[in-house]
Structure 1
Amino acid sequence: MAGTISRGIKAPIIRQGDDIVKIVADSVLAAATADGFQLQDRDVVCVTEAVVARADGNYASTEDIAADVKTKLGGETIGVVFPILSRNRFAICLRGIAKGAKKVVLMLSYPSDEVGNHLFDMDLLDDSGINPYTDVLTLDAYRNAFGYIKHPFTGVDYVDYYKNLIEEEGAEAEIIFANHPEAIVKFTKNVLCCDIHTRERSKRRILAAGGDKVCTLSEILNESVNGSGFNPSYGLLGSNKATETTVKLFPKNAQEVAEQIQKELIARTGVKVEAMIYGDGAFKDPVGKIWELADPVVGAGYTEGLVGLPNEVKLKYLADNDFADLSGAELEEAIRHRIKAKETDLKGNMVSEGTTPRRLTDLIGSLCDLTSGSGDKGTPIVLVQNYFNNFAN
């Protein structure tokens, strides 16, 4: 009778140099024995990106960041555009950036950052007479309009927090507020675009407005610096604070690890599971307004069976429309038959209206992120079962 099951699986504390593939396989099979379940074909074994990167030792220091920033952006005045407001995600990166510059012009979007962390409430903006689409605010203008406001969840005034971080690393700090990236070129033409999902658009607009040296975070530490970790596709994007002077980067071997996990479990059990390495889930908190996706992608690496979108019919549409005159066993049989006879691509078909048009990796990764959490659950592995089952089978 069970539909989709998302099962958090406990694992040892994983350290640099550990065999992540063996640990995952051992943990899944130990859980199956202890909890009395069996692996089935098309089960999905998911592992959080954090432990994959940790096992691989994919770390970098603020000195490494500073060296790369200085090389690529000149080491004088650097514009830092649209960073998210996060002690975990960006604060240590900012320390490294400031080490590689004499002055940082920090340009924050307002009233919130890209992922929904608010500097202040939208209602204050409505009453301020400020046009967020055009107005560029100095720090004094910002304070006069909105005052000193702390984030409701963290209790931090991120404006002061980021300004102090820059100055602690020996750079001059200037804070401005704007929502169009090209505003930065009036202050400096050497710019680091720190937004995540809109980074290429920001870079293009800054270059078109006269920017000179313009990089995105994905271009910082996209190669090793002095033996540091790196990510060739995402650079500093997806990094997390490790210590006060180091970050753990997004895993560079995620695809390889996902494929090896699948091979290992096939070899041990004969069951063809799918596997994926997942980052932040893609969902929004309706109260805090925070859009969770601070990683560049949800699925960092995944096996071939997870490519694609769901192809589902809407049960309530069938029950209310096509089979409105049926009930009981007759209704259930008619719906089962319709599911079995569904087209291989339902795009544009009314019977699929209201199903979720998102990639399988985004859906399953979001489910796993909610299951494993980000705190002390101790379940960096998630086994998803029955995901590809439906009412007909």
Structure 2
Amino acid sequence: MGEAVLRKVGVEVHGIRMPVIRRGDDLVKMAAEHLVEAAASGYAPFTIRDRDVVGVTESLVARAQGNIVTLEEIAADVRDKIPEGDAAVAFPILSRNRFMSLLDGIVRGIRGKVHLFLSFPSDEVGNQLIDPAEYLKRSSGMPECFGTAEYDARFGRYRHPFTGVDYVELYKDLAPGRIEIHFTNNPLRILDVTSRVVMANIHNRVLYAGLLRERGASVWTLDQICTEPRSNGGGYNPEFGLLGSNYSQEGTVKLFPRDAGPFARSLQQEILRLTGRRVEVLVYGDGAFKDPVCGIWELADPVVSPGYTDGLKGTPSEIKFKMIADNAQGDAEEAVRSAIRSKPAASGRESGLAEEKNALGTTPRRYTDLLGSLCDLVSGSGDRGTPVIHISGYFDSYIDG
């Protein structure tokens, strides 16, 4: 008998090329078939195994659903919620793709004046409104809330270093004479001008809206707008509303996909039918990482993954590999293998403390956040044409053959 072949590869990731998806396409069938075809291709064949992971980008699912709303539909929904008077739109991110169209629709729906509140020196994901050096030099004695005159006098206008856009001017010029811009980091200052608020931030929306509602304000967060269809076949999202939306074409935005969990389970079953392998599936959007160069946090979606199969629930339980090796008394190789083998058997107070020490420094991120970020980095949003991602070996350890 020949020697056993030792495994030399850990995690493998493959971007699966797909055709352009259109509304009404059977994406479950198409994604499964293209995955199987890619695995058998002559260019770079691979094996589909149990517990592999397949990711499908949220935009592909939403496009197949035709989950699109018009700006007039957004305006009508806002008008129903705020039938009269002035209102605030608070703490949006600075983005043409992510927010400009939403602001247009929201402003159309507000009958009175629009008070746009911007956080500073940057929005919640790191897009800057003020030059960092100028902010440090000139922020002393600054009022808690101020307008564009104070902003201009103290800091001067600032263009985003990557887009070259002056977002203060861009947002104000959307509806000249109707939009008044305020700068503050305290959501309670909104109550100085109005008690009707569209809370447009993403990750702190529940906290900020709760603070305002405690003081009697009427507050709607973006996930409460466009939760039901306003026309036959019109887009909507009952869970996320406008959160996670993107510019689609003139006058429309694409929403986060509906029923992402059922989609993931259906794709899991279709791959099982075609291959006999039970993989895990997730729908992914923005990855949860911060760009080290521009300082912008990538996650402009409400979650990394809006839907996934049950096997992706939870967080990894892993040892700190290098710490075990560095502190081994004797054979470092055996110390690492022993620590990995002992994980499932750990129980009780003493074993629990040992396991906690061995895991020191391993951040308890969720599987869906880790895998969704990996998928997003591999697929990108450019011209690769690989909106389906196959990941093999992610749940394996160093001692698995």
TM-score (normalised: structure 2): 0.92
8 Å contact from structure 1 (residues 16, 55) kept in 2: yes
Kindly indicate whether residue 235 of structure 2 is the aligned counterpart of residue 226 of structure 1: no
Q: Give SS of 1:175's match.
A: strand
8 Å contact from structure 1 (residues 309, 359) kept in 2: yes
Q: Give SS of 1:310's match.
A: coil
8 Å contact from structure 2 (residues 144, 186) kept in 1: no
**Residues of 1 paired with 2:149 and 2:266: CA distance?**
55
**Residues of 1 paired with 2:137 and 2:336: CA distance?**
53
**Residues of 1 paired with 2:181 and 2:373: CA distance?**
34
1:55 paired residue number: 64
1:380 paired residue number: 387
TM-score (normalised: structure 1): 0.94
Kindly indicate whether residue 115 of structure 2 is the aligned counterpart of residue 99 of structure 1: no
8 Å contact from structure 1 (residues 185, 210) kept in 2: no
8 Å contact from structure 1 (residues 104, 166) kept in 2: no
1:280 paired residue number: 286
Q: Which runs of 4+ in 1 moved over 4 A?
A: 344-348
8 Å contact from structure 1 (residues 318, 324) kept in 2: no
- Pairwise CA distance, 1:332: 2.2
Match for residue 194 of structure 1 among 194, 200, 222: 200
8 Å contact from structure 1 (residues 298, 361) kept in 2: yes
| Amino acid of the structure 2 residue aligned with 1:143 | D
**Residues of 1 paired with 2:274 and 2:81: CA distance?**
47
Superimposed CA distance per residue, residues 186-220 of structure 1 (whole angstroms, 9 cap, x where no aligned partner): 11111000010110111111223342x21100100
**What runs of 5+ residues in structure 2 fail to find an aligned partner?**
1-7, 347-351
2:3 paired residue number: none
1:122 paired residue number: 132
What is the identity percentage for the equivalent residue pairs of Structure 1 and Structure 2? 48
**What runs of 5+ residues in structure 1 fail to find an aligned partner?**
none
1:80 paired residue number: 89
Kindly indicate whether residue 301 of structure 2 is the aligned counterpart of residue 289 of structure 1: no
- Pairwise CA distance, 1:325: 2.6
- Pairwise CA distance, 1:226: 2.8
The size of the alignment, in residue pairs, is 383
2:47 paired residue number: 38
**Residues of 2 paired with 1:290 and 1:360: CA distance?**
22
8 Å contact from structure 1 (residues 69, 75) kept in 2: no
1:300 paired residue number: 306
- Pairwise CA distance, 1:116: 0.7
**Residues of 1 paired with 2:69 and 2:211: CA distance?**
30
| Amino acid of the structure 1 residue aligned with 2:53 | V
Over 3 Å counting, the alpha-carbon distance change for 1:184 and 1:356 in structure 2 is same
- Pairwise CA distance, 1:244: 2.2
Q: Give SS of 1:127's match.
A: helix
8 Å contact from structure 1 (residues 78, 188) kept in 2: yes
**Residues of 1 paired with 2:148 and 2:215: CA distance?**
23
**Residues of 2 paired with 1:49 and 1:129: CA distance?**
40
Superimposed CA distance per residue, residues 21-45 of structure 1 (whole angstroms, 9 cap, x where no aligned partner): 0111011111101122110001000
- Pairwise CA distance, 1:75: 4.1
Match for residue 323 of structure 2 among 314, 317, 323: 317
Q: How do 1:354-373 and structure 2 match up within 5 A?
A: 354-373=361-380
Which range moves more in the overlay, 309-318 or 120-129?
120-129
8 Å contact from structure 1 (residues 283, 291) kept in 2: yes
- Pairwise CA distance, 1:324: 3.8
8 Å contact from structure 1 (residues 49, 277) kept in 2: yes
Match for residue 64 of structure 1 among 51, 69, 73: 73
**Residues of 1 paired with 2:345 and 2:67: CA distance?**
41
Over 3 Å counting, the alpha-carbon distance change for 1:129 and 1:339 in structure 2 is closer
8 Å contact from structure 1 (residues 282, 292) kept in 2: yes
**Residues of 1 paired with 2:138 and 2:257: CA distance?**
43
Superimposed CA distance per residue, residues 169-191 of structure 1 (whole angstroms, 9 cap, x where no aligned partner): xx711000000111111111110
8 Å contact from structure 1 (residues 282, 293) kept in 2: yes
Kindly indicate whether residue 225 of structure 2 is the aligned counterpart of residue 215 of structure 1: no
Over 3 Å counting, the alpha-carbon distance change for 1:33 and 1:104 in structure 2 is same
Q: How do 1:226-245 and structure 2 match up within 5 A?
A: 226-227=231-232, 228-245=234-251
**Residues of 1 paired with 2:262 and 2:313: CA distance?**
16
1:108 paired residue number: 118
Superimposed CA distance per residue, residues 348-379 of structure 1 (whole angstroms, 9 cap, x where no aligned partner): 71100121310000000000000000111110
| Amino acid of the structure 2 residue aligned with 1:18 | D
Match for residue 162 of structure 2 among 137, 149, 153: 153
Q: Give SS of 1:305's match.
A: helix
Match for residue 12 of structure 1 among 6, 19, 25: 19
**Residues of 1 paired with 2:71 and 2:310: CA distance?**
36
Q: Give SS of 1:21's match.
A: helix
- Pairwise CA distance, 1:317: 1.2
| Amino acid of the structure 2 residue aligned with 1:62 | L
